Structure 1
């Protein structure tokens, strides 16, 4: 079972005077909604999380959805034994989350994990579903905080590009 979550940092509040209807892609992805994120395997009671307070959570959700799709480029899909790799770079550091898909399973590790700790492993289809649900739930939460964000065309495009599964 996959659990994706986030917390917004009080150290980096989003500007109240900003018109969220017109915020561009770069600002949405890198300058707003900072906090921490986690991916947990509830069955194994293990998680991979950040504890930095500055991770742009919307960018993380967006990038995770992109990565899940990137991992699905092999035409053989879940029958493919050839590993497909992807990584998520955190903008303000050298840390990365590393993804590897083989057959229908995705291993997720991170640079900051102890070397002897095994990666989290999830079914690709379940990860796709959870990543998209996380993105839509996050957008709903952020729109509750900043109502005009719901009128931003970039957010509309993002929701259409990654519909709930």
Structure 2
């Protein structure tokens, strides 16, 4: 079972003068909502997580949804035996989260994981569903905390691009 989560940082608060209704994509993805994120395999009781406090959590959710779609571009989909690769790089460091899809399974590992630790493995369809749920739940949390964010056209477009999946 896959669990994706976040925590917002108190060390890197958003600027108090921010107009969330008019914040551009650059600000939404890179300057606001800093904290930490994790992907956890609850059956194995293992996770890949950050502990830096400065990861833009909305950007992480957005990029994760992009990566899941990127891993699904091959017309053979689940039948493709050759691995498909994608990576999520963290803007303020050289660290990366690495994704490899073979058939219907996605291995997730990170540069900062110990070399002898195996990757986390998730079903691609489950990863897609959970990534989109995480994105929508995060947006709901952030719009509750930040007045005007729910009226931002970039947020509307993001929600339309990655609707929840059954």
- TM-score interval, smaller chain: over 0.9
Structure 2 stretches lacking a partner, 5+ long:
none
Q: Could you report, residue by residue, the CA deviation over 1:110-158 in whole angstroms, capped at 9, with x for unpaired residues?
A: 0000000000000000000000000000000000000200000000000
Distance of 1:28 and 1:111 partners within structure 2:
25
- Name the structure 2 match of 1:110: 110
Structure 1 stretches lacking a partner, 5+ long:
none
Give, in angstroms, the shift of residue 15 of structure 1.
Answer: 2.1
Given the two structures, how large is their TM-score scaled by the length of structure 1?
0.99
- Name the structure 2 match of 1:52: 52
- Name the structure 1 match of 2:31: 31
Given the two structures, how large is their TM-score scaled by the length of structure 2?
0.98
Distance of 2:18 and 2:29 partners within structure 1:
15
- Displaced runs of 4 or more, over 6 A: none
Distance of 1:3 and 1:141 partners within structure 2:
17
Between the two proteins, the alignment pairs up a number of residues equal to 165
Distance of 1:17 and 1:30 partners within structure 2:
17
Q: Could you report, residue by residue, the CA deviation over 1:69-122 in whole angstroms, capped at 9, with x for unpaired residues?
A: 000011011111011000000000000000000000000000000000000000
- Name the structure 2 match of 1:89: 89
Distance of 1:83 and 1:13 partners within structure 2:
39
Distance of 1:137 and 1:147 partners within structure 2:
16
- Name the structure 1 match of 2:9: 9
Distance of 2:95 and 2:10 partners within structure 1:
22
Determine whether 1:141 maps to 2:133: no
